[in-house]
Structure 1
Amino acid sequence: MITLNSTTSYFGYSILLQKGNPPIAIVGAPRRKYSGKPTGAVFKCNLEDLNCQEYTRVSRERGIYPIGKNGDLLGSVLDGDEDRGGSFFTCAPRFIISPSFDTYFTNGRCFHVKNSQNIHENAELLLPLNDINQIGTDNFAPFYDAAFGESGFSIRFLKEKNELIIGAPGKYKWNGALLTTSESHSTQIYPKRSNKFTSLDHYYGYDVAWGRFVKNSSEIWYVSGAPRGSGLKGSVIFYGTNPHDFEIKSVLFGEEFGSYFGASLLVLHYAGGGDDILVGAPMHAGDSWDEGCVYYYKKNGGGPYFHPPVKLSRGVSSSRFGTVLADLGDIDLDSFPDCAISAPYENYGTGAVYLYFGSKEGFSNDNYQRIVPSNFAPFFPPMDVKGFGLGISKGVDTKNKKHNDFAVGAYKTGQVFYFQSYQIVDITPDMTPNIFTLHTSTTNFSVKYCLTFTYRNGKTKSVSFDTSLVLVDSRVVNERNVTQSVTIEAKKQNCNHHTVRLKKNHLNLEALTIRFLYKIQQQNSWLEKILSLPMSYDCGNDNICQTNLTITAKQTDPKIIILGVNNVLRMNVSINNFGEPAYQTKLYLNVPPEITLINLRECDFKNGSYECLVAQLLNETVEKHFLLDLANIQPQWTFLPINFTITSIGQDVYPSDNKLELNIPITTHNNPRITSVSQPDNIFLNGTRRLNITHLFFVDNQGPSPLNLTLEIYIPQVNLNGSAVFEIESVEESSNEIVSECIHLDKKPPLDLAEGKNQANSTKVLSCLEPEINCTSVICGTGYLQKSSQNLVFSVKIFVHTDSIAQLIGDKNKLLLTTSAYFTNGTKMFSTSTTTQIYGISKNVKIPLWIYICSVVLGLVLLLLLIFGLYKCNFFKRTYKEKIESERIFDDGVAQFEVGNNLFCT
């Protein structure tokens, strides 16, 4: 790791590696301060002692050109040779030129350092937009042509033409342009300024590249990204290099507004042309925001055409995947180019870099390696890393080991991390046993295991490996893990032998698995090769047993399942084999998920069914007994489906009898009741405008089976003068255990509901059983009453409008309001009715006066006749008084006589 101990200089914003002894990293720090202002700087860093020195002559003429308060961004881009001492280019896109010293224009400039070894060499100044006449006017009309061109915002060095390709996204009033400048300082601009007032703010030149996109052609095309082009969806333009026509060869278009499609470009070069291109869209929203993605366009045919793009993405919000694309070359030496894609704001701004490895089909979202600062945290003291991946170098073989290395900058914390590639070897493992099948009588065999490797870089002579032969099997009785370390020369096979001893007469019929683990000693991850030795079943030359399995089953208790009574079901199953030996015979039991198997000692629940081992070797009849738990059986079921399937290793000659399906009938036994009551029983009209009546219906289930209840309640409805006499306030079920849903319908009760009794003519009857009465039906469904002795109470609340009901009663003494309810259980109907008696108010009748006079006279006559009758019967004569008194005296004398006789006898 290299650092300047400065978090404000943006050290690591751009990086260029150069190989040599020692190799160096040229690092840009575009916010490095000079005289207190962030002018930017470029450093040469030794990759062995990690010391850095500033290029002192890569700078502006301090006394001639002013420094903007936000700096020039010198060192924001780098490109050049891959050899130490070669040349490199860097730019300051916000370099200010002031033709009148009172107007500042950021037209930008670049520097060419011809010897990277010499930090004091005067850098050659490149000013592609230095024409004063193009800075700010056009035919004396104000127009920002090159004034804010920001040339050097992006660069690519085309070595074979010794040409620098420069992006100037601010040219043509921020429409942008691609510039090329050669060693002779001649500059070409793409596109030519034809219509300066159209297509503004596209930012052409945000990133630039070059390539040969036609196979078997040496023609070079320039590529320019315009992230605000195509209606803010972004675009990529391919220009021909003919300076006379500047022909647009092809255009790629983005698919999402604001994704910044074209903000980063990478061309993958192939010998003979037909290059591929990757286009970054770092602000692609994805499923959240700013996830970012990269579109990979693979060449299609010999012409200037591409296959539909493959979208590379990681789906991490706010990571801006695709901000930087770097060419790593063929880093793994598999003949296909590889690349690095950065997500510098992943993980709350820490950043990440993804290495994508190419193949014959190109790039995919499956073949990549993720690098984050936490990967190498154990090698450094605790530190903060932010912006990791905004600067990524090209892949360069800095140590001459044929594998490219690269460097990654974390610009916000001023760090550069140098990554050296492992030497890649291709390892070929091999295992060969001295037998090809195992028998139950096999007690030992030997296995030969070997390693061979070849190198990709042509320099690796030998490699040290750790190996382990693993035999985790209960049949093995000797050593189960054989480990050793070996050093192997390239292309020479190294072999070892191991004897495996087995138990006698082992019945485990699964293949015996041997794992051969190996790894390079300096690495942590193990690779493996697996060998499986199959078992021989002694069933002919083809080793396939011709079995003949049959299955029968019967229930022992009960024959018919009664809900609420039978909680378990006992099944006896017989399995027979009339063919060759049946190895690893298994029985599969399938029942509804509500039914569980109680005796699970020999069964496992897998993939929705019970798998039961019948026998390792079956040559005779085997009985199995199953106990099923019926506690969760569903009350709506009419039968219980049970399926049996028998399998074994081999081929059954009659597979049709390997399956058995049973349907056990299910029935219900229950004893429901329904009663009702009115609260109150009687109501007297007393002048109150509204009276309340509540009719209660009680339903209970005495079990034992659940009751599927749908209760229908019928309430008479009468209208007088357009208004209802009875108003239904609510129909509720008061139980907290069951949720009832009620609907209201205009419906008459069934004809077989019990008829009401005939009433006297003085009584008005309102009942749904009367044919002329209209009714409202309330149908309440509760589902199943699962518990025995479970009670439900349905409450019907009715408002009585007394003024209307008085008219309804008329000359009758009372009115009977009857509501009815019923439900069915199977073919039986259960019903009840309850009645409220409503009495009318007595009327005041005026009686004539003559009736009072006649009544008094008649009463007096009757009184006189009564007195006369009593007189005739001697009622008023008291002759009986003396007679009564004499009888009393006689009784007293008799009593005294009896007392005297008693004394004498004594």
Structure 2
Amino acid sequence: MILGSRRHGARFGIALANIGDLNMDGYEDIAVGAPYEGNGVVYIYHGSVDGIKYEPAQIIQAENIDPQIKGFGISLSKGADVDGNHYNDIAVGAFKSGHAVVLKSHPIITFKPTLNTSTRSVSRKAFNFSCTSCLSYTGWSVPDTVDAKVTLQVDLSFGRANFISNEFRRTNTHAYNITLRRGKQWCKDLRVQNTQQIVYRTEPLLLAMTYELTNNPNKVQPRGPRDSAADEFCMECPVLDSAQSTIITTMVAFETGCRSFVCTPDIKIDARFMGIEETFILGEKQTLGIRLEVENIGEPAFFTRVNLIIPKVTPVVEIPSICYDLSNQDRKETYVLVCDIGYPLEKNYTMDLVMSMKDVPAGTKTLTFKVNVTSAGNDNNPSDNHKELVLPIVIQADMTIAGIPSQDQIVYMTKGNTYIKDLTLSHTFQVWNSGPSTVETAEIEFQIPHQYVLPPTQEIFMRVLEPQLQTSASIMCTPVMGFSFWNPSSEIPTIDPNLSDGEGPDDDFYQLSNRRPPSLSKRSVSNTENREENFADSMPKVSVPDDAPSTSNFSMPPSKRTLFLNCTDPKVDCFTVKCSGGPFLPNKTQAVINFQLRPDFVVLESQLQMKDIILFSSMGTVTIRDPPDALQPQGHKPDYADVHTRFLGTIPEGSVATWIIVLAVICGILILLLIATALHKIGFFKREKKEELKALKDAEVVTNEEEDCTDFQADVISSDEL
């Protein structure tokens, strides 16, 4: 697929033509028009054995031909040789300015360069060898002679060698102009000599030969609107094939003392990430470490290089002194880092690199790092000279929500048992990202009890005003279909929740306010305190997760006296508001959403019956939408919050039925009889001390009678004896 410049509205491809084989390579070429790209552009694409090449061989812009031409490229002709130079020309239409432009082709030549040296290796102490550079050209229907410029360079990076000649002084660069004849090769011999007594760097000497046409018609400046095209165009002037390189190189190695002419090292490389286990959690760390370990178990490895292909989003924090960047503009996603580690490398080498992870996009799933090691010798086992590291990226963010009411409880009845008018309360929610990753977009949904659904009617008991937002992110809140924010006709007094828009969550949102309602009467306080009951087994229908924010000051009111208004009641229709936006930076961005609410207690009167407390509960949830694959950490903070407000009134007076009183008396008598019987059976009515005292007294009487009888017998015996 060819795409042109991808400019919006360029109309690339509105005209397409087969223009024949322009470069005479045996494959037909095409022209593509883009009339709305500037003043108009025509792209030339060459054919190949694999089809049309993706990159254009030439881009012809209308303003480079004549600034008055507009709409250039709306129509294209087929290729045809109109000037007789055996190369196809094309005609291009420009509809806005009414021009028809003929684009003529130049003959195309191909250079045939060679660069040879008299030796493949030299001594590190001294060297002197010859270098031969040759150049010729070929082409279809090209001129018999062409002028060219040839430039020779040797060891520009390290300056260890120079060219020597009788024609010029010693230098590492030599340029000369030549005239080439078709079918004949032109050659030049030069000597190369060392500039240092001892060469410590053993990288091979790099010799380079560059070549170019000196009468290239492509370098002619654009003509003016009144210039004659016939005077400017040279149909026999050749141009160089755009697919051909204009440089060739060769290397001469240094003698290393290995057993053969070329060393045979056995290098292997290992690479691993440092400080992480299986995945990298984006945002948890700002840097990523990579350890490279190169081992050589063979002969010394000269000119040992480690080449790293690194994603551009993870630049190296500090490039080591032995490394340099070899990236070019063609690499859009990666850059190349080259490190020279062996002069020579005889055993092992370890190097640590630190990459910055600050610029990794949130949607990244993996990062690939490629590393390989090379040397000037013939490696014994090249299969272990490369390594590819794939780093899985995990997006982990803890989006948290908490809420707080403007007041814990509000009295809605006056002392005269009438409803207080124009009561206003607010429920405020705070949303933030505890990290570690950035959340691009979060969705926050609020549900606020709004109306009773009592077919066939719907009675609104809580009006919802448009929420007030305080955030550094871009957030928009809208009610779902079927609901709309209430717009009061007059200004409503509001209760200031004392919000702040700092760079972190507010701890006050983790607990409810301690403030007492200012209008709470002594009687209502007494009634509330004196009638507290234990209703642990009869909790209201409000769904609260186990990890909800701490609400240590909130306690459930007595269920028998309370009307619960929450979104779990099927008779209650909840006002739903959805807010979406971002980004939420970890521990920096927060959003505070404040809902102003206006209750209508007249609507609730029929539902209160014998109850005097109303527990009003709104809820909010937060969900991560972008990145869609974001995970929440274990033990994450709550993404669900309830906010409660208690409305306090008075219990309606009433009488107790007579049958209830009679039944209560009978039940009391029966219970009393049952208790008395049970106590009698267990001996509760026995007087043990009294019985013991009576038995003791009876025993004393018997003892006294026995003593009197004994004395009487003794007196009788004495009388008998007498």
- What TM-score do the two structures reach when normalised by structure 1? 0.40
- What TM-score do the two structures reach when normalised by structure 2? 0.49
